[in-house]
């Protein structure tokens, strides 16, 4: 019995290939969207990590030589043997005919996280990197190196500017530094009970991981991207839901017959679940693979990281990474389950003798549309409640969910309303028929249009969010990374000499004086600043009072960060106790995207009075010749390369990485829109068979098939237009919640939101184009329906 029933169930798909294709591809696309977004997200993260690491920026702790520039390789081996998770780095410069190039040698096998080069491309295996010797560098550096080294040079746009990246052994050869290293990177997780550093080697000092400024900003960015990853999954779920409920609806008759012939309901449902799980697995596998292909095609130069994600390609063998595939499949199965639960429930409760005729599925009548609208209203109310009273990150996401689901549920009602409105304006009989017929089509297309709504809203949201980030990020970099170089003294004793040297050789010197303290109950850093042109010209405030810097310089006021201000409930004009016994009015509040702690800034002199023992060991330096100053510092003062951070380079590089992420999100936008268009295509195609009986009377009454086809096309565009018009405010709302609610909850600061109307207009055009493209084929098919099919409608009217 089981087998016979299964044959009958499966025969439906054999006979209706298009529906089967719609089901599998809908599922596969939803999974692909999810895994593609994950891949793109992971890729963006890896880019940042690689950027930070190659620049020697301190997201990881490091071991540096106490004196001089070099560590003996034996020390490294001794550390590894004793259990320390460290990875060696060797840095130095080589001369080329066009200037000097900084060489950074890494050990990809021990390096933590994604320190290894991002752009290992096809044809470059890890093996190559280790044995043959390959250097990775941006185009200009690669050209420079062309004739200077014998190793193969791979152009990698993601490499840091002015740097060539290679294996540690190759670097030792190139720099003629066999057996020595510059620094050791500490993996974030170290085994318990490893011996003391001093016990192994007295020559190294530990430099703890430093908050690299931009880290937190990018963290927030990723949180938001993840939120959009979920959104894209929601788009996928709507598509899957549409295809699955359609599939069930079309088999209502068969289910009824099977039950009448004696197949028990439980068995039938069990078989349908098994069938769905099988399809979900097949589609999930296709989807994960497709996600990989999409990500790789959209971002051709990140194939290596993707390989790392999906399975490391070591020495030519592809090892699939189980978790990745499993998570993709799980998403497909869970998504199918979510989408199918309702349909299965309906089947289970369908009276055996109920009508077998497929109704327009899922969102049936005007009454249903109104009911959904009511639910939507309820969800919006909950959302508003959360916005007014809510606290916490989780609630922020609930708020997002309320808005999105609410908007999607509202859509059928809005569409009906729009069509009714148009109907009232209609003068001719044809147009009256057109609008009435369109109203009939709304339920059938609802789910696909909901997918379009979410896709377009995601698009608007992502663009608004990313562009707002970009504008803010550039401002922030200008402000915080204004000094061209940041220089660390080896110890307090060296500090006065170093400062004197810097003052002689640079335009402006900004000592970085700080203590960790608690201000107004918030753990904070208190800074002593040397107020000068850099502060005056570059700092942008969230809120300010007149003559901020003059008052700070006179020791009469303080500047606090937004986090501190929000958490302590203070704002400009309020007094803040920056230290026991010293209370100053807040002259300005500054946005500080780079910090989990609060910050307060007072004049250098006031700071020195409070903390006379503090000597600055770090300096920001303004100079027009960063490279020259750097060389002087290394050669004359004897600082190590790692002690000098080239902010201009970090800035340029961060911007470039950000640009890449920007193109990535552009790709993501194209992807979601394409998937939504596909959903429309599929729902139109599957609806086509239901359409024939509806159109036959119009045809019989004298409308040509061509005209009917053209009207079908128009209908899709009209519905898509109304949907898009609703999607734009939804997307803006989405971006607003992410930037001003979720971000505040997660990181303590609000990101300013910028609006880009030109982009939204363009997007509307794209959405309409996508809908028209999707409707083209079904319309053509309809225009070519043989008259005999239309006649059948009248022959077999039963």
Partner 1 sequence: MMLTVQDVTKTFAGGEGDLPVLRGVSLSLDRNETLALTGESGSGKSTLLHLIGGLDTVGSGAIEIDGHDITKMTDSDRAALRRTDVGVIFQQFNLIPSLTVAANMAFQARLAGRYDADQAARMSDALGLTPHLDKYPEALSGGQQQRVAIGRTLVARPKLVLADEPTGNLDEATARQVLDQMLDLVTETGAALLMVTHSQSVARRMKRQVHLSQGRVA
Binding site for partner 1 (CB under 8 A): 1, 4-5, 7-8, 11-12, 14-16, 253-254, 256-266, 351-353, 356, 796, 798
Least Å from the CB of residue 350 to partner 1:
13
Distance CA 234, CA 564 (A): 36
Give the CA count within 13 Å in the CB-facing half-sphere of 585.
12
Q: Compute the least distance from the CB of residue 7 to partner 1, in Å.
A: 8
CB of 85 or CB of 689, closer to partner 1 = 689
Cα(291)–Cα(33) distance, integer angstroms: 6
Quote the least distance from Cβ 264 to partner 1, whole Å: 4
Spatial separation of the C-alpha atoms in residues 500 and 691, rounded to whole Å:
84
Nearest residue (CB) to partner 1, 189 versus 797 = 797
Pairing type for strands 598-603 and 522-529 reads parallel
If the CB atoms of residues 689 and 740 are measured against partner 1, the closer one turns out to be: 689
Contact (Cβ atoms closer than 8 angstroms) between residue 558 and residue 631: no
Tally of CB atoms within 10 A around 352? 9
Instruction: Please answer whether residues 548 and 541 qualify as being in contact, where contact means their C-beta atoms are separated by less than 8 angstroms.
Output: yes
Contacts of residues 128-136 at CB distance under 8 Å and 24 or more positions apart, as own/partner, are: 128/152, 129/166, 129/167, 130/167, 130/169, 133/166, 133/167, 133/169, 133/170, 133/173, 134/166, 134/167, 134/170, 135/103, 135/164, 135/165, 135/166, 135/170, 136/164, 136/165, 136/166
Cβ at position 788, least distance to partner 1 in Å: 12
Q: Supply 91's token pair.
A: 């840095």
Contact 179, 72 (CB under 8 A): yes
Q: Which two tokens mark 36?
A: 């593609």
CB atoms within 10 A of CB 7: 10
Q: How far is the CB of 341 from partner 1 (least distance, A)?
A: 21
- Least distance from C-beta 122 to partner 1, angstroms? 45
Beta-bridge mates of residue 453: none
Provide the sign of the torsion angle of the four alpha carbons 532, 536, 538, 540, taken in this order.
positive
CB of 4 to partner 1, least distance (A): 4
In the complex with partner 1, the residue whose CB is nearer, 270 or 417, is 270
What whole-number distance in Å separates Cα of residue 475 and Cα of residue 467? 12
- Measured from the CB atom, the residue of 5 and 158 that comes closer to partner 1 is 5
- Closest contact distance (angstroms) between CB of 20 and partner 1 is 11
- Strand-pair partners of 517: 524
Q: Phi, psi at residue 428, to the nearest 5°?
A: -85, 160
What region, left, alpha or beta, does residue 410 occupy, with left being phi > 0 and alpha being psi -120 to 50 degrees?
A: alpha
User: What are the residues whose beta carbons fall under 8 Å from the beta carbon of 290, sequence distance 6 or more?
Assistant: 28, 29, 31, 32, 36
Spatial neighbors of 388 by CB under 8 A, at least 6 apart, are: none
Helix (H) or strand (E) holding 590: strand 582-590
Compute the least distance from the CB of residue 746 to partner 1, in Å: 52
Nearest distance from residue 222's CB to partner 1, in Å? Answer: 48
How large is the C-alpha radius of gyration of the chain? Answer: 32
Residue closer to partner 1 by CB (options 202, 266) is 266
Work out how close the CB of 325 gets to partner 1 at its nearest, in angstroms, rounded to a whole number: 33
Q: What would the DSSP string read from start to end of 258-326?
A: HHHTT--HHHHHHHHHHHHHHHHHHHHHHHHHHHHHHHHHHSGGGHHHHHHHH--EETTEE---HHHHH
The distance of closest approach from Cβ of residue 1 to partner 1 in the complex, given in angstroms and rounded to an integer, is 5
The least distance separating partner 1 from the CB of residue 348, rounded to whole angstroms, comes to 11
Q: Are 41 and 226 in contact (CB under 8 A)?
A: yes
Closer CB to partner 1, 10 or 209, in the complex: 10
CB of 339 to partner 1, least distance (A): 22
Q: Least distance from C-beta 259 to partner 1, angstroms?
A: 7
Q: Which helix (H) or strand (E) holds 789?
A: helix 787-795
For partner 1, give the closer residue by CB, 93 or 267: 267
Which residue, 1 or 192, has its beta carbon nearer to partner 1? 1
* DSSP letter string, 478-543: HHHT-SSEEEE-SSGGGHHHHHHHHHHHSSEEEEEEEEEEEETTEEEEEEEE--SHHHHHH--EEE
C-beta of 365 vs 537, nearer to partner 1: 365
Joined together, the tokens standing for residue 634 give: 């290394």
Token output for 407: 């908007």
- For partner 1, the closer CB: 7 or 537: 7
Return the number of the residue (355 or 663) whose C-beta is nearest partner 1.
355
Name the residue nearer to partner 1 (CB basis): 255 or 673. 255
- Give least dist CB 343 to partner 1, A: 18
Q: Which is nearer to partner 1, 311 or 358 (CB)?
A: 358
**C-beta of 13 vs 431, nearer to partner 1:** 13
Could you tell me the smallest distance in angstroms from the CB atom of residue 8 to partner 1?
5
Q: How far is the CB of 128 from partner 1 (least distance, A)?
A: 54
Phi then psi for 258, rounded to 5 degrees? -60, -40
* Residue whose tokens read 């020495």: 315
Q: How many CB atoms lie within 10 A of CB 140?
A: 13
Chain mean position to CA 27: 22
| Closest to partner 1 by CB, 45 or 252 | 252
Nearer to partner 1, 266 or 580 (CB): 266
Of residues 94 and 265, the one with the C-beta less far from partner 1: 265
């Amino acid at each position: 019995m089981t087998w016979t029933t299964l044959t009958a169930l499966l025969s439906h798909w054999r006979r209706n290939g298009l529906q089967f294709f719609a089901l599998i591809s809908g599922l596969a696309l939803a999974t692909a969207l999810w895994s593609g977004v994950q891949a793109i997200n992971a890729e963006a993260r890896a880019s940042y990590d690689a950027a930070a690491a190659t620049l020697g920026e301190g997201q990881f702790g490091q071991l540096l030589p106490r004196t001089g520039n070099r560590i003996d390789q034996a020390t490294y081996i001794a550390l590894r043997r004793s259990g320390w998770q460290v990875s060696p780095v060797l840095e130095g410069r080589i001369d080329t005919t066009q200037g000097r190039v900084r060489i950074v040698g890494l050990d990809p096998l021990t390096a933590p996280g994604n320190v290894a080069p991002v752009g290992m491309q096809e044809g470059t295996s890890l093996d190559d990197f280790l044995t043959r010797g390959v250097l990775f560098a941006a185009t200009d550096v690669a050209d420079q190196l062309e004739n200077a080294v014998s190793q193969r040079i791979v152009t990698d746009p993601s490499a840091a500017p002015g740097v060539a990246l290679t294996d540690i052994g190759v670097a030792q050869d190139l720099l003629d530094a066999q057996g020595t290293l510059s620094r050791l990177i500490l993996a974030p997780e170290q085994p318990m009970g490893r011996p003391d550093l001093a016990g192994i080697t007295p020559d190294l000092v530990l430099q703890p991981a430093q908050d690299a400024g931009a880290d937190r900003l990018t963290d927030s960015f990723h949180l938001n991207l993840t939120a959009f990853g979920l959104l894209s999954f929601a788009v996928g779920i709507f598509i899957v839901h549409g295809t699955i409920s359609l599939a069930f609806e079309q088999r209502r008759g068969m289910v009824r017959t099977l039950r009448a012939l004696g197949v028990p309901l439980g068995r039938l449902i069990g078989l349908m679940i098994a069938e769905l799980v099988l399809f979900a697995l097949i589609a999930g596998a296709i989807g994960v693979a497709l996600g990989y292909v999409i990500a790789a095609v959209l971002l051709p130069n990140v194939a290596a990281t993707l390989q790392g994600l999906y399975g490391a390609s070591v020495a030519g063998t592809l090892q699939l990474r189980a978790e990745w595939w499993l998570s993709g499949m799980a998403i497909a199965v869970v998504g199918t389950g979510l989408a199918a639960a309702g349909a299965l429930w309906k089947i289970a409760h369908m009276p055996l003798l109920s009508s077998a005729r497929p109704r327009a599925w899922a969102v049936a009548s005007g009454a249903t549309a109104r009911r959904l609208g009511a639910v939507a209203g309820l969800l919006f109310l909950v959302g508003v409640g959360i916005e007014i009273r809510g606290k916490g990150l989780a609630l922020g996401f609930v708020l997002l969910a309320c808005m999105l689901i609410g908007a999607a549920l509202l859509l059928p009602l809005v569409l009906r309303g729009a069509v009714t409105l148009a109907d009232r304006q209609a003068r001719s009989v044809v147009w009256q028929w057109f609008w009435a017929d369109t109203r009939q089509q709304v339920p059938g297309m609802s789910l696909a249009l909901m997918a379009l709504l979410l896709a377009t809203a995601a698009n608007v949201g992502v663009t608004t969010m990313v562009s707002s980030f970009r504008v803010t990020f550039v401002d922030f970099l200008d402000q915080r990374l204004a000094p061209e170089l940041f220089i660390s003294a080896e110890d307090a004793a060296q500090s006065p000499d170093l400062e004197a040297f810097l003052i002689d050789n640079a335009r402006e010197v900004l000592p970085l004086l700080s203590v960790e303290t608690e201000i107004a109950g918030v753990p904070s850093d208190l800074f002593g600043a040397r107020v000068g042109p850099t502060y005056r010209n570059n700092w942008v405030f969230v809120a300010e009072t007149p003559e901020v810097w003059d008052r700070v310089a006179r020791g009469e006021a303080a500047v606090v960060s937004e986090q501190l201000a929000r958490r302590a409930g203070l704002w400009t004009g309020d007094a803040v106790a920056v230290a026991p016994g010293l209370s100053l009015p807040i002259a300005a509040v500054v946005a500080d995207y780079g910090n989990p702690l609060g910050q307060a800034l007072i004049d250098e002199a006031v700071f020195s009075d409070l903390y006379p023992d503090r000597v600055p060991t770090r300096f920001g330096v303004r100079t027009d010749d960063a490279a020259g100053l750097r060389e002087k510092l290394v050669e004359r003062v004897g600082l190590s390369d790692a002690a000098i951070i080239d902010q201009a380079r970090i800035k340029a590089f961060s911007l470039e990485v950000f640009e890449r992420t920007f193109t990535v999100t552009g790709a993501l936008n194209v992807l979601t829109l394409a998937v939504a268009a596909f959903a429309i295509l599929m729902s139109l195609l599957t609806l086509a068979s239901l359409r024939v009986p509806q159109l036959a009377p119009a045809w019989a009454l004298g409308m040509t098939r061509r005209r009917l086809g053209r009207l079908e096309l128009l209908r899709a565009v009209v519905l898509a237009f109304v949907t898009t018009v609703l999607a734009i405010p939804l997307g803006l709302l989405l971006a607003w919640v992410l930037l001003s609610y979720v971000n505040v909850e997660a990181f303590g600061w609000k990101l300013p939101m910028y609006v880009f109307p030109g982009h939204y207009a363009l997007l509307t055009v794209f959405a309409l184009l996508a809908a028209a493209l999707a409707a083209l084929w079904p319309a053509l098919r309809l225009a070519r329906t043989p008259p005999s099919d239309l006649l059948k409608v009248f022959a077999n009217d039963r």
